[in-house]
Amino acid sequence: MKKLFILMIAIMLLCGFRAPNGNIISKGDLSDKLLINLGEPNVRTDLGLVQTRAFGGVFYIKREVWIYRIDQYNYRFIIQNGQIVDEHWTRF
């Protein structure tokens, strides 16, 4: 029972980024959740439009990288059409 509890806690911690106010932010969430919990990013880089094909047509997807500095950690989020696609953190 104790091992199951520890395993559940570990899975919950690995499922997403926890903002300083306690909210969990994970892949698939809208970028508005980042703005509400963390404010404007320190660095916002536009990666331009990416061309994709779907349903017999050509669509353009807007991509951005948002970087936040919280304490000694740097958090990088890739935003695609207003949705969090990838998250990465580094210590320096």
Which pTM was predicted? 0.73
pLDDT tens for the 92 residues of the chain, in order: 788 777 776 666 566 667 766 677 878 888 888 898 888 999 999 999 988 888 888 889 999 999 999 888 899 999 998 999 998 888 87
pLDDT number for residue 25:
80
For residues 65 and 70, give the distance between their C-alpha atoms in angstroms, rounded to a whole number: 16
| Residue range 2-90, CATH number | 3.30.1450
Tallying the residues shown for the chain, one arrives at 92
pLDDT number for residue 37:
87
Where helices occur in 1-92 by DSSP H, the ranges are 2-14, 31-38
Query: What letter would DSSP give residue 41?
Result: -
